[in-house]
Structure 1
Amino acid sequence: MLDQIRIVMIQTTHPGNIGAVARAMKNMGLNDLCIVSPKRFPDPEADARASGATDILESARVVASLDEALEDCHFVVGTSARGRHIPWPITSPREMASVAASLQPGKRMAILFGREDRGLTNDELHRCHHHVHIPTNPDFSSLNVAAAVQVIAYELRVASIESASVTAPQWGTDWDIDLADAREVELMFEHLEKTLVQVEFLDPNNPRQLMTRLRRLFLRSVPDKVEINVMRGFLTAINKTVASFSSKQTLSNDQHPPSDKEKPHV
Structure 2
Amino acid sequence: MAATVDLGSVAYAAPNLVATAFPAPGPVPVAVSARFADEVGTDIGSQLSVTVGITPVPIVVTDVVPTGPSAPGAVAVLADLDLLSRARAVTGDLTFPVDAWWVGDPARPGAADRATALHLGTVTTREAETARLTSGPLHAGLPAALRLVVPAAALLLLAGVVLHVTCDLQARAVEVARLRGLGMSRRDIRAVLLGQHAGVLLPLLAAGAAVGALATRVVAPLLVRSDSGAAPVPAAQPHWPWPAEAALLAVLLAGSLLAVAVVVVVQVRRADAAHLRVAP
TM bin, normalised by shorter chain, reads under 0.3
Higher relative helix content: 2
- Larger-gyration structure (1/2): 2
Q: TM-score, normalised by structure 2?
A: 0.22
